[in-house]
């Protein structure tokens, strides 16, 4: 049954691979500098590595937004997010699993009546705004530096072509690692509170945690999505917003990779804290927003925006707004059916056990003479012959 519930997470992982791999290698494939199969292979390997070894940071922030603590609830939330991303992929719109999973979790919060952590939500939303702006700024700086370097070195075209191909593969690998580290929270983060796997110990000193096992499974699903369905989105990202040269393609991928790494690296955050600097929040950001921001930055600095296809940009922007809303609504409706039609619990209501001694202590000063005192005494006697009474935390009458 556990594996059945995980299917929705695997589907979301497949959707992420099909859509977001275009953000890593789309510019390289569209400019024909890297073959699609090579891009898919490198992307798959490094996404798995990033997810398993550095994927925990952004998961904590997502978990604070809403801790989906029942497997049926996790299944439904991930399914709603996956369907939303798959739908956008069908429309050739590069959206983010971050947007869909956040919307789906808020839908779960609304359905179950649990509060949304607005501090975490504000942190995530602000990161979504900062992400494309930061990516655009980095792309502008890197583009200026690359132009200066190439002007000074005067590299032969054939030599430049070889360097650019190698550079695209290198930064693509870095980008895939950062994508796995940052976005695996979107794929398997909702399953962490209801973690179905036990830790595995190797040779007494190496531990493969249940969370890492979840991340590995999710990363493999992302890899399948890259190989099977990512080519269409790669072409959209790499050629239809703004025509890129191989060098500018390199700049775009490097800029996006840096932004994803900044918002995913626990090591970088710890280094900043150790040196008395303000830490960067570990938030699952949108790789789509990062790469689109970088492309727009290049377009502004090269042609002052005249070469940007604003029709495509408007289509992508509307997808960014529609995605979390659609995922939230779909999550809410799907949770209703799962709970009321299929009769599966989508949330675990915690319970507090109150023993006889606690009851007696609680009513000691109130249980005087009269009808109320008699009820307390009778209830106390019943407890002696039965099981401890359970007060549900939610909706309890005290």
DSSP per position, 271-326: HHHHTTPPPPP-----HHHHHHHHHHHHHHHHHTTTT--HHHHHHHHHHHHHHHHH
What is the pTM (predicted TM-score) of this model?
0.75
Closest CA to 45 of 234, 222, 231: 222
**Domain shared by 375 and 303, yes or no:** no
Euclidean distance between CA atoms 23 and 226, whole angstroms? 11
Q: What is the pLDDT of residue 375?
A: 54
Q: Based on the fold, state whether residues 299 and 382 are members of the same structural domain.
A: no
pLDDT in tens, 299-321: 888 877 666 777 777 877 888 88
Strand pairing category for 206-208 and 200-202: antiparallel
Q: Which residue among 317, 340, 363 closes a domain?
A: 340
Q: Decide if 240 is inside a domain.
A: yes
Phi, psi of 311 (to 5 degrees): -65, -45
The two three-digit tokens of residue 28, written as one number: 């390289």
> 160 lies in which domain range?
2-340
Residue 287's pLDDT is: 81
As a whole number, mean pLDDT of residues 45-60 equals 83
* Angle ∠(196,392,329) on CA atoms, nearest 5: 60
| Contacts (Cβ under 8 Å, ≥6 apart) of 251 | 139, 142, 143, 146, 294, 298
CA distance 328 to 101: 8
For residue 242, the model assigns a pLDDT of 65
DSSP state of 397: -
Q: Do residue 267 and residue 383 come from a single domain?
A: no
Report if residue 397 sits inside a domain. no
Residues 110 and 255 in one domain: yes
User: Within 13 A of 369's CA, how many CA atoms are on the CB side?
Assistant: 0
Considering the domain architecture, whether residues 208 and 272 belong to the same structural domain is answered as yes
Identify the band that residue 1 occupies on the pLDDT scale cut at 50, 70 and 90: low
- Evaluate whether residue 31 is within a structural domain: yes
Query: Is 234 in contact with 30 (CB distance < 8 Å)?
Result: yes
Predicted local distance difference test score (pLDDT) of residue 374: 60
73's tokens? 């609830």
- Same domain membership, residue 321 and residue 221: yes
Q: What confidence category does residue 104 fall into, taking pLDDT thresholds of 50, 70 and 90?
A: very high
d(CA 183, CA 284): 6
Per-residue pLDDT, 90: 80
List Cβ neighbours of 128 (8 Å cut-off, separation of 6 or more). 98, 99, 285, 286, 289
Percent of the chain with pLDDT over 70: 83
Average pLDDT, the chain: 81
Say what the pLDDT of residue 17 is: 87
In this structure, are 233 and 371 located in the same domain?
no
Give the DSSP H/E element, type plus range, for residue 374. helix 371-384
Q: Predicted confidence band at 372 (pLDDT cuts at 50, 70, 90)?
A: low
Positions of E strands within the chain? 200-202, 206-208, 351-354, 389-392
**With 80 as the cut, is the pLDDT of residue 363 above it?**
no
Highest-scoring range by mean pLDDT, 63-67, 142-146, 212-216: 142-146
Structural domain contains residue 60: yes
* CA distance readout (Å), 362 to 46, 76, 115, 154, 393: 58, 41, 29, 84, 17
Query: Is 345 contained in some domain?
Result: no
Same domain, 272 and 335: yes
CB within 8 Å of 100: residues ≥ 6 apart: 12, 80, 81, 82, 84, 85, 186, 323, 324, 326, 327
Please check whether residue 309 lies inside any domain of the structure: yes
**In this structure, are 318 and 386 located in the same domain?**
no
Residues 363, 297, single domain; the answer is: no
**Number of structural domains in the chain:** 2
Distance CA(178)–CA(263), nearest Å, equals 9
Is a pLDDT exceeding 90 seen at residue 173?
Answer: yes
Indicate whether 384 and 238 sit together in one domain.
no
Please report whether residue 363 resides in a domain: yes
Confidence check: pLDDT of 389 > 60: no
292/170 same-domain check: yes
Identify any residues that bridge with 351 across adjacent strands, giving them in sequence order. 392
Please tell me the distance from the alpha carbon of residue 293 to that of residue 101, in angstroms, as a whole number: 21
Phi and psi, residue 206, nearest 5° = -110, 125
| Residue finishing a domain among 301, 320, 340 | 340
pLDDT band at 350 (very low <50, low <70, confident <90, very high): low
Give kind and range of the element (H or E) at residue 61: helix 56-65
Does residue 398 sit within a domain? no
Integer-rounded Cα radius of gyration of the chain: 25
Kindly report, residue by residue over 212-262, the tens digit of the pLDDT. 888 999 999 999 999 888 887 777 766 666 677 888 888 988 998 899 889
């Amino acid at each position: 049954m556990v594996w059945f519930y995980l299917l929705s997470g695997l589907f979301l992982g497949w959707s992420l691979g099909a859509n977001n791999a275009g953000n890593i290698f789309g510019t390289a494939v569209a400019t024909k500098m890297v073959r699609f199969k090579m891009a898919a292979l490198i992307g798959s390997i490094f996404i798995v590595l990033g997810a398993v070894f550095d994927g925990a940071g952004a998961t904590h922030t997502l978990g604070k937004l809403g801790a989906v603590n029942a497997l049926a609830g996790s299944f439904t939330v991930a399914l709603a997010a996956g369907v939303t991303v798959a739908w956008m992929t069908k429309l050739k719109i590069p959206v983010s699993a971050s947007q869909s999973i956040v919307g789906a979790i808020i839908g779960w919060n609304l359905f179950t009546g649990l509060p949304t952590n607005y501090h975490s939500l504000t942190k995530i939303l602000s990161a979504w705004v900062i992400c494309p702006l930061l990516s655009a700024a980095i792309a502008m700086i890197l583009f200026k530096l690359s132009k200066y370097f190439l002007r000074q070195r005067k590299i032969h075209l054939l030599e430049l072509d070889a360097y650019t191909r190698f550079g695209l593969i290198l930064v693509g690998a870095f980008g895939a690692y950062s994508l796995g580290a940052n976005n695996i929270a979107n794929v398997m983060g909702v399953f962490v509170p209801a973690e179905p796997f036990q830790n595995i110990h190797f040779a007494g000193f190496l531990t493969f945690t249940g969370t890492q096992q979840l991340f590995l499974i999710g990363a493999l699903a992302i890899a399948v999505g890259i190989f099977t369905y990512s080519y269409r989105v790669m072409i959209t990202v790499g050629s239809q917003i703004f025509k890129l040269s191989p060098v500018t393609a390199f700049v775009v991928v490097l800029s996006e990779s840096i932004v994803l790494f900044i918002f995913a690296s626990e090591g970088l955050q710890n280094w900043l804290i150790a040196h008395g600097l303000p830490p960067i929040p570990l938030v699952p950001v949108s790789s789509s927003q990062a790469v689109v921001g970088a492309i727009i930055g290049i377009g502004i600095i090269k042609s002052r925006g005249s070469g940007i296809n604003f029709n495509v940009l408007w289509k992508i922007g509307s997808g960014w707004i529609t995605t979390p809303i659609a995922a939230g609504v779909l999550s809410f409706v799907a949770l209703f059916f799962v709970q009321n039609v299929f009769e599966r619990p989508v949330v675990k209501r915690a319970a507090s056990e109150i023993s006889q001694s606690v009851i007696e202590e609680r009513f000691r000063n109130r249980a005087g003479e009269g009808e109320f005192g008699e009820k307390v005494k009778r209830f106390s006697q019943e407890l002696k012959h039965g099981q401890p009474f359970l007060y549900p935390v939610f909706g309890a009458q005290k």
